[in-house]
Amino acid sequence: MDVSEAVAARSSIRAFLDTPVSDRLIAELLTKASRAPSGGNLQPWRIFVINGDATARFLSHLATTDLEAPAYDMYPPKLKEPYRSSRFKVGEDMYALLGIPRDDKPARLARVAENYKFFGAPAGLFCYTDKVMGPPQWSDLGMFLQSFMLLAQEAGLSTCAQESWALRAQAVREFVGAPDELTIFCGMAVGYKDPDANVNSLISDREPLASWATFL
């Protein structure tokens, strides 16, 4: 699989098989991903991996906690166009594949709760950075995570990056033992996708090049 194929094949997977993933493979992918660009070579990522029994223990721990105030704004509070419509459409497309109508609030809330089970993935990781870091280093985190996701795709794994863990920041911190000087950026489900799950056929739209690129 070349880079173009990995980019085209990668998508956010929201239904996983319970097939185990080895710590060794995850460690290998993280090591390769650490070659991602990093301004000043700060390498601001700090990663906590849960897998297998640790995932089960984490989910049991999470069940004893509640939703929290978000650690940061996952989206701007007043999202303007065209961003608002883009976000709305991908959500509606996903619920259509799941067969959940807009007025079925309980079913939609239950689906949102699947975020906090890693969508059934056997492994997950949490990406942190030091609180002294700023927007440039958060950009580095994104490049690191994209590198990991493409490498996972090459290795036959699927992923789903989840900023939703910002709503469970303290619960995650308590379990993984992250020091106070770190702040959570996101979590990520890691595993083998369920090929029979309709939700995994979701391919989000992309704006045409002419709407966001200017050649001078």
CATH number (domain holding residue 9): 3.40.109.10
Q: Using 50, 70 and 90 to split pLDDT, how confident is the model at 17?
A: very high
Please give the pLDDT value at position 122. Answer: 98
Within a domain: 41: yes
Q: Using 50, 70 and 90 to split pLDDT, how confident is the model at 215?
A: very high
CA 66/CA 63 separation, integer angstroms: 8
Mean of pLDDT values over 23-46: 98
Within a domain: 103: no
Query: Which range marks the domain in which residue 165 is found?
Result: 3-74+118-197
What is the secondary structure of 99-140 as a DSSP string?
Answer: T--TT-HHHHHHHHHGGGGGGG-SEEEEEEEETT--HHHHHH
Mean of pLDDT values over 34-62: 98
Please give the pLDDT value at position 87. Answer: 95
Q: CA 170: distance to chain centroid?
A: 18
pLDDT digits (tens, 9 = 90+) for 134-184: 999 999 999 999 999 999 999 999 999 999 999 999 999 999 999 999 999
Within a domain: 16: yes
Do residues 117 and 39 touch, judged by C-beta distance below 8 A?
no
pTM for the model: 0.95
Within a domain: 18: yes
Within a domain: 86: no
Residue 202 has pLDDT above 90, yes or no: yes
Measured from the Cβ of residue 39, the count of other Cβ atoms closer than 10 Å reads 12
CA-wise closest residue to 201 among 24, 16, 11: 11
Please give the pLDDT value at position 191. Answer: 98
pLDDT digits (tens, 9 = 90+) for 84-105: 999 999 999 999 999 999 999 9
Within a domain: 202: no
CA-wise closest residue to 119 among 18, 11, 14, 203: 14
Q: How many domains does the chain have?
A: 1
CA-wise closest residue to 127 among 56, 190, 73: 190
Q: Using 50, 70 and 90 to split pLDDT, how confident is the model at 1?
A: confident
Within a domain: 102: no
Within a domain: 85: no
Do residues 72 and 47 touch, judged by C-beta distance below 8 A?
no
